[in-house]
Amino acid sequence: MRLGVLSPRGTGEKRVAATPDTIKAYRKAGHEVIIEAGAGQGIASSDADYEAAGATIGDPYQATVLLVVGPADVDSARLRAEHVVVGMLDPYESEGLDRLASSGCQAFALELIPRTTRAQSMDVLSSQANIAGYAAVLKAATLYPRFFPMMMTAAGTVKAARVVVLGAGVAGLQAIATARRLGAVVEASDVRPAAREQIESLGGKFIDVPYETDEEREAAQGVGGYARPMPASWLQRQAAVVAARCAQADVIITTALIPGRPAPRLIAEDVVQSMRAGSVIVDLAAARGGNCALTEADQIVEKHGVTLVGETNFPARVAADASALYARNIQQFLGLMLKDQSDELHIPADDDIVNASRVVQGGKRLFPQQGA
């Protein structure tokens, strides 16, 4: 099979969908890889590195399977019906999928892979969120004008920074772990009851907002491992508790998301106002409207003396490792449909991972499904 690797074209994007290591594996399995010149620039992998791994530098649209980072990489005018596009295709943006569909190609959005054990090695949301959580804390640490760890020096003692993490999914848990490694005191909140144990196992303190009704308890269980919107009664109590914790915080990392919806608003302007000057908020939900009312996407702004970071692509800041993990996620996913030494795609008809991630086929957008 011929695989094509497109250069990253999204704003600030540096990641690439194949590394020299995954190219070697594709070659070993008898596949041909055509990569666009300069595609690996952002991860310090030169064309020569890719050629040494067995790729050809050229026009990736000559291949059948096109590997991309995001939808911006694809020139839909060049797509043909036999193309199969694989990447993080931003499936909740219907217009982008409609553009792909108009070519008649087939496309798979890896964000929609189910959170099952079998799919773990292909889980791009996890591999990239993990990096975002890490990079967000490092960003906060460089913008915060004080230390993270407690320091006892001859010139006096410095207190540890107090970090609050809102949303303890993959990104939030990595943010907790990274802030703890830097010596901060960490508290975290999540709607899901399972989050308590995970937060505590990383040395964080769980910000408890007890459930008071069956409706609240049921909503908190979520669906498919994901959060569902919580009832207004719980959100009100959470807002009060979170506001009090945030007023004491030096750094806040917000990561709360509900798939396919705008980010829940967890920090109002008066909460920012209550924070100490010099505090930092990194809003990992900035691309989806932000968990903080004052976040500006892709900007670092100062409001009421607090620095607000609205960076929307932290994984691209750690592009080499983000690409290494992403490229392996893609390689594992392609393992479902490539056969060694075969020029044909063998897309299984009854595979839950394939079916959940297929967003475009036969000129039609398949996601979101009607009624979903």
Which parts of this chain interact with ligand NAD (CB under 6 A)? 115, 120, 123, 125-126, 129, 166-172, 189-192, 225-227, 230, 255-259, 264, 266
Q: Which is nearer to ligand NAD, 236 or 342 (CB)?
A: 236
Shortest separation between residue 224's beta carbon and ligand NAD, angstroms: 8
Shortest separation between residue 139's beta carbon and ligand NAD, angstroms: 18
* HEC secondary structure over the chain: CEEEECCCCCCCCCCCCCCHHHHHHHHHCCCEEEECCCCCHHHCCCHHHHHHHCCEECCHHHCCEEECCCHHHCCHHHCCCCCEEEECCCCCCHHHHHHHHCCCCEEEEHHHCCCCCCCHHHCHHHHHHHHHHHHHHHHHHHHCCCCCCCEEECCEEECCCEEEEECCCHHHHHHHHHHHHCCCEEEEECCCCCHHHHHHHCCCEECCCCCCCHHHHHHHHCECCECCCCCHHHHHHHHHHHHHHHHCCCEEEECCCCCCCCCCCCECHHHHHHCCCCCEEEECCHHHCCCECCCCCCCEEEECCEEEECCCCHHHHHHHHHHHHHHHHHHHHHCCCECCCCCCECCCCCCHHHHHHEEEECCEECCCCCCC
Which residues share a beta bridge with 309?
A: 282, 300
Shortest separation between residue 137's beta carbon and ligand NAD, angstroms: 15
How far is the C-alpha of 133 from the C-alpha of 131, rounded, in Å? 5
Shortest separation between residue 46's beta carbon and ligand NAD, angstroms: 33
Shortest separation between residue 140's beta carbon and ligand NAD, angstroms: 18
Q: Which is nearer to ligand NAD, 156 or 224 (CB)?
A: 224
Shortest separation between residue 290's beta carbon and ligand NAD, angstroms: 13
Q: Which is nearer to ligand NAD, 83 or 162 (CB)?
A: 162
Q: How far is CA 97 from CA 8, 48, 49, 104, 106, in A?
A: 18, 34, 33, 11, 10
Shortest separation between residue 28's beta carbon and ligand NAD, angstroms: 27
Q: Which is nearer to ligand NAD, 42 or 169 (CB)?
A: 169
Q: Which is nearer to ligand NAD, 36 or 190 (CB)?
A: 190
The residue type of 74 is: V
User: Which residues are identified as catalytic?
Assistant: 115, 120, 123, 126, 226
Q: Which is nearer to ligand NAD, 101 or 113 (CB)?
A: 113
How far is the C-alpha of 77 from the C-alpha of 205, rounded, in Å? 52
Q: Which is nearer to ligand NAD, 190 or 250 (CB)?
A: 190
